[in-house]
Structures are given as structure tokens and as C-alpha cells.
Amino acid sequence: MEIQEELLVDNSTEIVEPEPEPTRPSFLEIATKWGTDKVTTHHYNHMYDKYLEPIRDRPLKMLEIGLGCDMSYGPGKSYYTWLEFLPNVDLYYIEYNKECVEKWAQNITNVKIYTGSQSDVDFLDKFINSSGGGFDIIIDDGGHTMEQQITSLEKLFPIVKPGGMYFCEDLQTSYLASYGATPGAKTMMGVIQELLNDLNVNVDVAPPLQHEVGREMRSVECGEEICGFFKKELGKTEVRT
């Protein structure tokens, strides 16, 4: 009997797994590399990774108050962090130390620096007119006093774009007398509580808002020593009196 051998043909297709896309550094990794205290002394990476990571590739107009001139490690750590983390950022700074700015700015590019005090309303008005406003992101990492933080929020939140964000760092100073948090004084944390009241009052009764900026505010979120204030999108600004 002749026995024929069967030729077994494997018709299955080899599945080649695609190579994983290379991951890019997170805000935490970039900020750690440049040495900013945003991720060492503080832990602001939780807030920034949550809200800025999803939009980091977009063209963004951003203002940070405070270049770091009074830091022990010197100015510019957050500047380098933002330029790497946000590759399409149009970056602005407000810094009160003119001598520091003039010395440091000789070696930098891709940034616009305005010298003046964040608690000086006249200076802030001039900054708004010169910069044109329309910021996607504003970060207050300036002098941290009650007057500075409160004045900056009241003057600069209106020039945040609809749907944009404003962050105030170093809110622990609301409990330190050396920063103006003396008995009876209004603190930044006190203002935040009032803004939360503005956001949560009975809209049918519609009492007067305690803060005008609350009219355009969609929400407030706070973490460890930092709060984010989020602006309503276009077409979602309710009229409240």
C-alpha cells in the first residue's frame, strides 16, 4: 500500500505587535530635571499634569508671575520647565526685581518679561494693555503676600480666555503673619472661600456676588498649597446681579 505524506501548510499570519510609541517626559520629570521647587518643596505636578498635560501640544499664551529671582537657586527654573513641557507656548513673565531681570534676560529667548509689582494696579493695567490679554494660562508664583495674590486674581482673571485657567501657588502663606495673614486681615484663602460661596449660592435668590471675578468663574479646584480657577466657556456666562 502506498502511503502519501500530507504536506501541512501553515496559513496563519504572524501577528507583529507594533512597537510602543516612546513616552515623553511628564511635568514632574521635566520640572525635576530643571530643579524648580514646584515639584520638590511643593507638589504642584498633580495639578499641572491633570490640567496641562492634555493641552500641552496646543499653541498656548501663558503668563507666570515670578521669575524666581528671590529663590536660593536663582531665576529661570520654571522658565526652562515651561518651554520644554509646552513646546508651542507664547511665554510671558511679570517680575518685580528689575536688576535680576536685566542680568538674566541677556541669555534667554522666547519670552516677554514685564518688570513691576503684581500688587500695583496701574502697572497691571499697563501690562494688560501691552500684552493684549487673552491668556490661556496664568500662574501666580510671585511674592505670595495677601495683597499680591488677591490683587493679581482680581485684575488678571478677567484677561484669561474663556475656558482658560488661573493657578495660584503657595497658598500656605494665608496662614503666615509675615505675608499679611494677620488677625482680621483678608487672606487669599478667605477670598477663595467667598468665591466658593459665589459659585454655590441659590441662583433663584441671586444675592450680590462678593467678587466680580466670580461672574465668569466656572469652578475652583484646590490641592496641596495650590488652587486652580477655571473660566466659563463662551456662551456659558450666566447673568447674575
How would you classify the pairing of strands 226-231 and 160-169?
Answer: antiparallel
CA distance 151 to 215: 17
Segment 206-223 shows an average pLDDT of 87
Q: What is the pLDDT of residues 41-54, one digit of tens each?
A: 999 999 999 999 99
Q: What is the pLDDT of residues 162-178, one digit of tens each?
A: 999 999 999 999 999 99
The C-alpha cell of 39 is what?
515639584
The C-alpha cell of 163 is what?
475656558
CA distance 202 to 207: 8
CATH superfamily of 27-231: Vaccinia Virus protein VP39 (3.40.50.150)
Domain boundaries, the chain: 27-231
- In percent, how much of the chain has pLDDT > 70? 85
Residue whose cell numbers read 522658565: 79
Query: So what's the pLDDT on residue 6?
Result: 45
Can you give 94-131 as a three-state secondary structure string? Answer: EECCHHHHHHHHHHCCCEEEEECCCCCHHHHHHHHHHH
Query: So what's the pLDDT on residue 235?
Result: 65
Count of Cβ atoms closer than 10 Å to residue 54 Cβ: 9
Q: SS3 of 195, please?
A: helix
- Measured CA to CA in angstroms, residue 89 lies from 55, 156, 171, 192 at distances of 11, 19, 26, 28
Average pLDDT of the chain, as a whole number: 88
DSSP-assigned beta bridge partners for residue 63: 92, 138
Q: Residue 128 pLDDT > 50, yes or no?
A: yes
Q: Which residues touch 166 (CB under 8 Å, ≥6 apart)?
A: 137, 138, 139, 140, 153, 156, 157, 160, 228, 229, 230, 231
Asked if residues 94 and 127 have their Cβ atoms less than 8 Å apart, the reply is yes
CA distance 95 to 118: 8
Q: What is the pLDDT of residues 24-78, one digit of tens each?
A: 899 999 999 999 999 999 999 999 999 999 999 999 999 999 998 887 777 889 9
